[in-house]
Structure 1
Amino acid sequence: MTATFTPRTARSNLGAPFLPGYVAHELRQNHPKQQTLAYGPGGSIDKPLAATGKLVLPKLDLSLLHHLNDPFHRYDLSTRTFTHEERGEMKDSARNTYRPALQPAWLKHDRQVLRFYAYFQEAVHENPKESFRIRGCNILFYLEDGTMMVSEPKIENSGMTQGTFVKRHRIPRPSSLGGGVYGFEDLRVGKSIAIYSRLFRLIGADAYTRDFYEAAMGETMVEDQELPMDTFRAADLPDPEDLVSARRAVLQEAKEYNEIAVGGCCRNEKLQQYLENDRKVLRFHTFWDESGKYGSRKYYTLHYYLADDTVEMLENLPRNSGCAPYPTFWRRSPLRKNPYISATPGMLEPAALIYKPEDLICGQTIDVMGRQIVLYDCDDFTRDFYRSFMGLEQVGTKIHHPPLTHAKLRFPPYNGFGSEEDSLSSCRGLMPKPPRRDVQKLLVDADKVLRFEGVLADDVEENENRKFVIAICLGDDSVGVWELKQRNSGHSEGKFASKSRKKNPATGTWFRPADFFIGASLLINSSPFRLTGADEKALCYMEEHPDQFPVADVNAAVQKTRAISGWLQEQSGIVGGEELQRAAEEGGVPLNEHEILTLSRGFGRHVLRVSDAAVDASKLLEALG
């Protein structure tokens, strides 16, 4: 056998082979301590600091030096001086303590483990009964070194290898989450973590883990979640009670059939009930509110036969009701609570749940073929039966007949062809007629037009200098808008909105002459306008017809100023329109701009604009009397 030598063996002159028991060790007999001090400017310093050239001088306590400067500091008896033995004991106690002031993680968090309950979804291939399986596990996080371990609790006869799923080590975090390793900050109940390309969902934690997060991070985790159900675990759950009862009914029916087939007799289970309750019938008065478009309230009489638990409902039709004369609403038969189903091969029809006497209570409702039937009263025999056999007092309910309402058809919406009156007239009869026009108004007011000056109120800087003429024709209430020419405005003059009838979006009706006055804000063709002035003809017409234009009624405007008569007596001479409007607003009787202009034209200057309005206070006081 050829001996193998290592380089270390070669350097030594022993020549021993590199085999167990033949490895030579270089024994050192001298182990001197390394020198840690060096001498530099100012005295001895730390050797590593001397090598780097950085000198760290200790900080001196100047207050202590100032105290030592006093030659009598040795006779200062304000504090007790420690003896030599006490100083030694303090030094030994600080040196021999087993817990340092700043504890390392392995000592501070020794035997402290966070435990989370989690699960992961595992795919199941080539199995017609299930496609996935939920596997629950525990995730342990060791605070002393930041390591983690994943273990799956062992279930007897599960057929799967369970136990330690991931051994204890520091688990790396995916690069998509920033890399590094997982810490306790990454673990929360309700979150998912990826461990080696497998996704784990955290659904719970123990009490110590929740207390740790509340103390360390001031955070309260969400409540524990339930482990999802899979097909494998659902197979171990018991069958529903309704399915078990249905199976029992089928087995009982098969058992009775076999007994009759071998010569047995047919059992009559309801014979005793028939003998005791024959010709005993409970009678209830009911009604049903039909919720259809042309629905009404219909009244019925419900008979419950105690002999065989069957129900019969007869409809009480009034005279001239318009309904077919078929009084039987429900033929005598058991009345089921659960609806009927059309069973197909492979389906089990649920057991019939029929109405019993304890289900028929006055004031409650029952379901009959989807209709909610209200029981409001019963006869004397029914009351005595419930009082004797059930200890229940049936109390009748006084019903209120709903008021008769006439359903009126609505006209269809305007389709855009022709005028609205013309389209509406085509819906009133088979032979459309042209809408009637107010010919008298058209002839009398054909040439009368009210013109107002307006500006755009859209707060756009480019539209501040634009001026418009807004006119309304009194003959047909048509409205038109034209723009006045302004130099360097960037807008061409001419027609802005064609003359036609227009709707007021604020009221939903057509524009009327009463909607136009100085200071009014109108929305015409989706453009907001504010009326700032009017011509002489429009103002005179409005003052001649104060019943149509209340803002032009001088008497009504004078009565509003009665609340500020004291203020008017203090004034002398002419009062500006803005000053009068401000005083009226402070007095609790606000006046709009047209009313100020009306007062100015009646008791002051005869002007066309509100900015030039002025009122003679003495004349206004004379009008007030």
Structure 2
Amino acid sequence: MGDKILCFGAVEVEDEGGGVGRRTVRIYYYLEDDTIRVVETPTHNAGGVQGTLVGRQRVATESSPLAPHLNLSNIKVGECVKVLGRRYMVTSCDPATRTYLTSLGMAPPPDLLPHPSPEAIPELTGAAKLQFMGDWPKTHPLATFVMHSGQVLRFYGEWVDGSVMAEGVGGVTERVTERVELRYYLEDDTAEVRVHHLTPHQHALTPTPPTLPTKLLRRSPIPKDASEVLGASSLGAESRPTLNLLGLRGGRAHLKDRRPQAGARPGMLTPYDLVLGSEVRVCGRVLRLCECDAFTTTYYKNVLHIDQVPVEYQYLYRKLTVPPVPRTTPLDPRWLEEHPRDPLHPFPTSVTTLVGGYHARDIRDGCEGTILRFGAKLITDKEKDKDREFVVNFYVFDSTISVYEIPRINSGQRAGMFLGRGLVVYEGGEGHVSAQDLYVGACVTLNAHDFTLTSADEFTQAYMERHADEFPQANYNVALDAARRCLDHHQLTALLRQYTSHDPDKTGFVPTTLATKALADALGGSELSRQQVAALTRRHRHLRASPLSRQQLTHLAALHLKRHNFHGMDELRAGLQGRDKERCGLLGAGCVRAALLATRLPLPPALIDALIDSVKGEGEQVEYESLCRDLDWRLRPHIHTTPPCQLDEASLTAGLRRVEDLTDYVNLVADLEGSAATHHFAGTGLV
């Protein structure tokens, strides 16, 4: 019986008042040594410490500490048991406990409720029933604070339109999409209001929306009617009575009483006023309660006997408003962002702001997540700023720009956000920087700093080539026409000879970086930008898969094994030899994979699959002795010399998917020469 544990559900019984407490516990009985452990069931927002109440130990009976300890016969469903001075009524047991007791002939009665009524507790009279106070506020503030310390009622709602209920009380005049949270603290009957912004106001100069809720009203009592507290002093007085002194000065003498007249106490919000679906006045506005958390629902049902039924938010079914009339007068260039037409749709669907005859923003539907990234450097004479590197982000959706500085170790410069997202206006104030102004090799002025764009990522290059009509610098036909006018026959011959010198096997392909550099050198005196030169070579790119070789994969696997201090190569070799029934030194690829997994090699699954695929021979057979020698890092004295790649997961994934970026220089030179094939160079032996 060393592994048998009986579990009983119980509820604490208060001895002084005879009532039932709210603490639900579980009593665990260990059959091996008759020990007991009492654990309180965790309850959300209970306001007290929960967990293990009584550690595992033997508990003496109530009669005397020298008497025998509690055993299984003392714990019965429907009866009370006393553990270390506390009384618990056993209300239930789990199915395993019920089955075990039934097998012993001690079948327990049916389970009681989790919180049984006082009538079901033996030795308790009807006068000891648990009574909840119906009046509010509580008559004993200190008792209320102790009883409800840490308990908070949370409600969520929305502001109501001013035309519904808030006329004359300072309510809002239009709906806003804000999720309002009202917290009611039961310990001192105070409340606070917080606002969660669902669709915050998007501004060009402040693009980052607030992530934390805004506290609209700090913790304090909230009056039901604000007019009742107007003019009241700290003593609760509204005014002083005036006495009319008859007979003095013709009956026109008046005297004010020095004692203030005590006015009626203003009514404050109570839990009875906070019912879902109702509207309350908070901060001069009308708040409609829509939902609450689980603790609030349970509290209202058990204490106040009110069922909280959630209601739907009204702003979800509101129709969109009519768009305003477009502006025709120019605005200040520093404030080009127009206000949202609708709180649910903060971005305008068409351009209405005109500045100097140019559109302030070019809104493009369907490009909300499209970001063009360029590498940039500062154009400056200061030595400390020449090595600073930046990333320029262009958001195609609204033509905004943000700049980040790449951190460098011991640079002395603060990296991170350099320019927040927003529209960048030209120095003259007419128009703003658009997509046509950004390309590799361009010089732009951002935040009063001159930048030169040095590179662009693969996505940006591909996007500009797909939309060549919008990006003329990435248009292949435009760049090809300009290059043909700059290159003559002798220059093309020299360019082709340079390409063939790096292609000894006459495959017709050279690395793309080399092809781009050679073409840029040939077009050095022309007006073609670096973006146009890249567009010419990218048209003839070929991505050829170049996975890691067997030597590189075994080298990488041995590095992983040494990193994890693996010394189980003898077990691996013995496992492979045991699977080789014919003693021929060859095993199938599936059998070798199963042996590697059975030995629990600390290798990523992708590396194991690539390694087995590289060592397979004819008939899917693997020479396992050679594989074990290659994986044994103890036989590699120079294992850390020229590793194929880093050992992290990202580098390993990139190494397994490695490709070779090549350029077909034959077709490239043919396009530059203007013929269908390089027939002018056919007799030179270069092609």
- TM-score of the superposed pair, with normalisation by structure 1: 0.29
* Higher RCO (CA-CA < 8 Å; seq separation 6+): 2
